[in-house]
A and B are shown apart, each in its own frame.
Chain A
Amino acid sequence: MGISRRNFCKTIAGSAASVAVLAAMPGKLMANWSDKAFAADKLEDAIAAKYGSLPIEESTAIQIKAPEIAENGAFVPVTISTTIPGVTNMSIFTPANFSPMVASVDVMPRMKPEVSLRIRMAKTANLVVIAQAGGKLYRVTREVKVTIGGCGG
Chain B
Amino acid sequence: MTMHAMSAIEPTSPPPGVLAIRADNWRLAIVAGLALSIFAALTLPASVSFWVVGVAAAMIAAAFVVNAYRRRYYGGLLVAPAIAVLFVMNIFPLLWSLGLSFFAYQSNQQSIRFVGLNNYIKVLTNEIAAPGNWSALVNTALFVVLTVSAQMMVGFLLAMLFAKQFPLRKYLLILVLTPMMLSVVASGVFFTYYYDPTFGILSYVMNAITGGQFILMDSKAGAVAGIVFADAWMWSPFVMLLVLAGLVSVPKYLYEAAAIDRVSAWRRFWSITFPYIRGLLMLALLFRTIEAFKLADLVILLTKGGNDTMTISYHLIRIANEQNKTSEGAAISYVMLFMVIVLTNLYLYLANRRNQES
Q: Do A and B bind?
A: no
B residues within 8 Å of A by Cβ? none
